[in-house]
């Protein structure tokens, strides 16, 4: 009498087993490798914002560093596109619209709403130096970070392509990353550029145009200092097809009473009087125009982007940018107008990130142009 009972049990188990297999097949079909990227698209940038905020706070190598600050921007009076290219490491870039090829899944391209990363670096040095300045990244960490991008299938694109995407919907490759360097440090040329060349990675420099000499006096490279690039070095990088040059003002990378000269009135040193709003506006417009024209006249390509010193901007600056034709404004870790292309946040890479923190921040990053 027990047979019917016993004969049913194996059948029930078999049905459950088959159901589980069908369920597994269904789930696998619905979530290809996309589950990871979907998660990263939706993740908030709260975590990444922490390090970015730190970077912002100490965004620029400061003269009060442990090492000599005599050559740092601002410490002395100083007068003293890219490309793309890139295909595989070693390839010679020859276009302004390419992208480096990492290990991305074949056929996978960037989809609307997926994150776009704009990395922000400043100065580089050898491990152990500049330990009190988060904005100075160890060059071996930078090498490991570039290797990580390549290995993990990120595609380094010229910043111009991010702009073209935001403006015109021009397609981007899978996991797009743009690389930017603020202030124009010589270490960008001596230390970072050889690594970027190895991978064929395009990058954008934001030098303070009025700080650069045509050619630096002969000197041995000293990693303990924050020497600036000269125009000849930038010429060489631009000629490689990897380097694009954009604006970080002509000479407004300074503060008055703790406020950026891009948003605060200056005191006339001769009269002791604060400039009028009209004078202030004219000063800022004149400076930004000079930076833009200096770069455009030298390289024959439009300057479309302004990286705000200290990441600080206001409504007036945005208005002046429109008048002059900069469409893209880059902040640091924070933006008051996350939907505006004139206040785009970048992922600041800081000394403490190493490759682990870098990878973690990349995965959390969620910025993408509004409506895309
Ligand atoms: Zn700066």
CA 52 to centroid of ligand 1, rounded, Å: 14
Would you list the DSSP string of 221-288? --TTS-PBPBHHHHHHHHHTTSEEE-BS-SS---EETTEETTTSPPBPTTT-PBPPHHHHHHHHHHHH
- Ligand 1 centroid – CA 281 distance (Å): 21
CA atoms in the 13 A half-sphere facing the CB of 166: 23
Res. 81 pLDDT band, cuts 50 70 90: very low
How many whole angstroms from 146 Cα to the centroid of ligand 1? 22
User: Helix or strand or coil: residue 291?
Assistant: helix
For ligand 1, the distance from its centroid to the CA atom of residue 19, given in whole angstroms, is 60
Query: What are the phi and psi torsion angles at 4 (to 5°)?
Result: -55, -40
- pLDDT at residue 36, rounded to an integer: 29
Could you tell me which residue, 312 or 99, shows the higher pLDDT?
A: 312
Token pair of 41, please? 């698209």
CA of 253 to the centre of ligand 1 (A): 7
- On whether the CB atoms of residues 37 and 153 are closer than 8 A, the answer is no
Query: Does pLDDT of 325 surpass 70?
Result: yes
Q: Is residue 8 predicted with pLDDT exceeding 90?
A: no
DSSP 331-345: -SS--S-TT-TTSB-
CA distance 55 to 247: 20
One DSSP character per residue, 147-195 reads HHHHHTT-EE--HHHHHHHHHH----BSSEEEEEEEE-BTHIIIIIHHH
Tell how far the Cα of 252 is from the centroid of ligand 1, in angstroms. Answer: 10
Q: Which helix (H) or strand (E) holds 42?
A: helix 34-42
What distance in angstroms lies between residue 88's CA and the mean position of ligand 1's atoms?
A: 31
Reported CATH class of domain 45-364: alpha beta
Torsion, Cα 214 264 304 153, to 10 degrees, reads: 90
| 349, two tokens | 């890479």
Q: Which residues contact 351 (CB under 8 A, 6 or more apart)?
A: 130, 131, 133, 134, 135, 136, 137, 138, 141
Please check the confidence at residue 284 and state whether its pLDDT lies above 50: yes
Given a contact cutoff of 8 angstroms between Cβ atoms, the answer to whether 335 and 346 are in contact is no
d(CA 165, CA 152): 22
Q: Region 267-279: what's the mean pLDDT?
A: 91
Each residue of 326-347: pLDDT tens digit? 999 999 877 777 789 999 999 9
Ligand 1 mean position, distance from CA 20 (Å)? 57
Say which range, 104-113, 276-285, 316-325, has the weakest mean pLDDT.
104-113
Range with the lowest mean pLDDT among 175-189, 232-246, 265-279?
265-279
The mean-pLDDT minimum among 55-59, 116-120, 138-142, 196-200 falls in 55-59
- The pLDDT of 36-42, averaged and rounded, is 27
Cα 188 to ligand 1 centre (Å) = 14
What is the Å distance from ligand 1's center to 182 Cα? 5
Comparing CA positions, the residue from 323, 365, 359, 367 lying closest to residue 343 is 367
**Ligand 1 mean position, distance from CA 347 (Å):** 14
Q: With pLDDT > 90 as the criterion, what percentage of the chain qualifies?
A: 62
Residue 90: predicted pLDDT: 30
Mean pLDDT, residues 115-122: 97
Strands 259-260 and 347-348: unpaired
Average pLDDT of span 149-168: 97
Give the predicted TM-score (pTM) of the model.
0.75
For the packed helices 354-364 and 46-57, what is the interaxial angle rounded to 10 degrees?
120
Q: What is the pLDDT of residue 105?
A: 56
Whether 130 shows a pLDDT value over 80: the answer reads: yes
Q: Name the residue among 215, 185, 184, 136 with its Cα closest to residue 291.
A: 184
Question: In angstroms, rounded to a whole number, what is the distance separating the alpha carbons of residues 61 and 69?
Answer: 8
Judged against a pLDDT cut of 70, whether residue 19 lies above it is answered with no
Q: 364 C-alpha to center of ligand 1: Å?
A: 25
- Which of 290, 184, 288 is CA-nearest to residue 237? 184
Report the separation in Å between the CA atom of 56 and the middle of ligand 1, taken as the mean of its atom positions: 10
Please say if the pLDDT value at position 29 is more than 90: no
Model pLDDT, residue 106: 62
255-256 and 259-260 beta bridge pairing: antiparallel
Token pair listed for 169: 């919907």
Instruction: Give pLDDT, residue 5.
Output: 33
- Give residue limits of the domains in the chain: 45-364
Give the pLDDT of residue 107. 74
């Amino acid at each position: 009498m027990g047979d019917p009972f016993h004969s049913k049990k194996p059948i029930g188990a078999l049905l459950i087993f088959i159901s589980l297999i069908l369920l597994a097949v269904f789930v696998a079909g619905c979530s290809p490798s996309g589950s990871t990227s979907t998660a990263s698209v939706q993740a908030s940038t709260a975590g990444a914002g922490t390090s970015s905020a730190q970077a912002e706070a100490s965004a620029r190598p400061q003269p009060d560093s442990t090492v000599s600050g005599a050559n740092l921007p601002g410490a002395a009076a100083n007068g003293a596109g890219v490309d793309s290219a890139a295909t595989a490491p070693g390839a010679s870039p020859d276009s302004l619209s390419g992208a480096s090829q990492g290990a991305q899944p074949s056929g996978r391209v960037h989809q609307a709403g997926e994150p776009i990363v704009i990395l922000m670096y400043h100065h580089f040095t050898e491990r152990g130096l500049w330990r009190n300045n988060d904005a100075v990244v160890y060059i071996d960490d930078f090498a490991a970070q570039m290797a990580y991008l390549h290995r993990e299938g990120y595609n380094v694109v010229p910043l111009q392509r991010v702009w073209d995407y935001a403006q015109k919907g021009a397609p981007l490759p899978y996991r797009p990353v743009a690389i930017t360097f603020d202030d124009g440090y010589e270490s960008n040329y001596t230390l970072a550029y050889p690594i970027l060349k190895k991978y064929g990675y395009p990058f954008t420099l934001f030098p303070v145009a009025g700080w650069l000499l045509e050619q630096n006096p002969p000197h041995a490279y000293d990693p303990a200092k924050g020497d600036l690039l000269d125009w000849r070095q930038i010429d060489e990088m631009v000629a490689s097809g990897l380097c694009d040059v954009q604006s970080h003002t002509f000479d407004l990378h300074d503060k008055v009473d703790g406020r950026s000269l891009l948003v605060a009135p200056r005191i006339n040193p001769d009269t002791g009087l604060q400039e009028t709003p009209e004078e202030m506006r004219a000063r800022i417009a004149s400076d930004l125009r000079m930076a833009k024209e200096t770069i455009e006249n030298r390289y024959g390509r439009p300057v479309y982007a302004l990286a705000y010193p200290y990441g600080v901007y206001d409504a007036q600056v945005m208005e002046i940018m429109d008048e002059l034709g900069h469409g893209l404004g880059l902040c640091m870790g924070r933006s008051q107008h996350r939907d505006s292309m004139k206040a785009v946040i970048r992922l600041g890479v800081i000394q403490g990130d190493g490759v682990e923190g870098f990878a973690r921040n990349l995965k959390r990053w969620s910025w993408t142009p509004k409506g895309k």
